[in-house]
Amino acid sequence: MSRILITGGAGFIGSHLADRLLAAGHTVVVLDNLFTGHLRNISHLAGHERFRFIKHDVTEYIYVDGKVDVILHLASLPSPVDYLREPIKTLKVGALGTHKALGLARAHRATFLLASTSEVYGDPQVHPQPESYWGNVNPIGPRGVYDESKRFAEAMTMAYHRYHAIDTRICRIFNTYGPRMRVDDGRVVTNFIAQGLRGHPLTVYDDGSRTRSFCYVSDLVEGMVRLLESGEADPVNLGNPTEMTVLDFAKTVQRLTGGKSEIVFVSPKDERTKDDPHIRQPDVTRARKILRWDPVVGLEDGLQRTIEYFRTVLGADAL
């Protein structure tokens, strides 16, 4: 069994990874400054003999006593609300944070997995997006702080792999949803579910024709664990290849949350949709071939689980 460090481990995906790895018998150390993560995501692990939490900013020097066998680097500001409000912090986490985490991996000769993103493809001109596509990113646009932070993180990871012979993995994560998402993170899943449960209109940007592909968190975690065990250094897409329009997704959430909310079309007054991808669908051919992985949780099943979680979090405000 390994001792595994998860940066950003109090976040949505990181906390689910912690659960999975502890269940497999590993020892897990979560490092998080709680800027976007939350203690409630890992509170159920308090007192676990193989779990430890360290409150720390990944952009500062990282010290962990004892041996570290694996580092899963998930620390980032991935939601539009966060990276538009904190552009410099977003860049620092992607650049300095990745450098510090890779430095720790080098010191311990640990396997390193970078949680990258489909945003490295930008607003794609190739569809669906294979790992071989270099992307269409506006480096000076408002979204560029997140896109380029992850592109830099990938370049840094490969540099450590080639120059320092670090055993590395790169996971390009497409839209993922599930329990423990932040209600206020500004993403389409959380926006629609919170609006639907509160009986507010579901606000669809522009005409709703943009497309997305939604992967349930347990499927993503399964793919990440398989990637970690694979020995594959080149990037691998992980996401659900079933594509749908944002409008169709809104109609699904509308129905599953009770059907009381109307759908309204709005033009955002901020920069939230500037350079926003018009299409998004992962080509998961490599994941199927290398990892023998495919998502298994259907959209409605996953949404029902997520909606129940949101009912609990929102409480009386959802009624």
Q: Which residues are catalytic?
A: 146
- Structure-block tokens of residue 255: 């129905």
3-7/211-213 β-pairing: unpaired
| Phi, then psi, of 190 in degrees rounded to 5 | -70, -40
For residue 307, what is the enclosing H or E element? Answer: helix 299-314
E strand intervals along the chain = 3-7, 27-32, 51-55, 70-73, 111-117, 168-173, 176-177, 202-205, 211-213, 215-216, 236-238, 243-245, 263-266
Question: Cis peptide before 179, with omega less than 30 degrees from 0?
Answer: no
With vertex at residue 225, the alpha carbon angle to CA 220 and CA 230, rounded to the nearest 5 degrees, is 120
**In the 3-class helix/strand/coil scheme, how is 234-266 assigned residue by residue?**
CCEEECCCCEEEHHHHHHHHHHHCCCCCCEEEE
Query: In one letter, which amino acid is 262?
Result: E
Contacts of 223 (CB under 8 A, 6+ apart): 171, 236, 238, 287, 291, 293, 295
Contacts of 309 (CB under 8 A, 6+ apart): 178, 179, 180, 181
181, 40 Cβ separation under 8 angstroms: no
- Structure-block tokens of residue 28: 């897990």
DSSP three-state, residue 13: helix
For residues 131-158, one letter each, b for 16 or more C-beta atoms within 10 angstroms of the residue's C-beta and e for the rest, the string is bebebebeeebbbbbbbbbbbbbbebbb
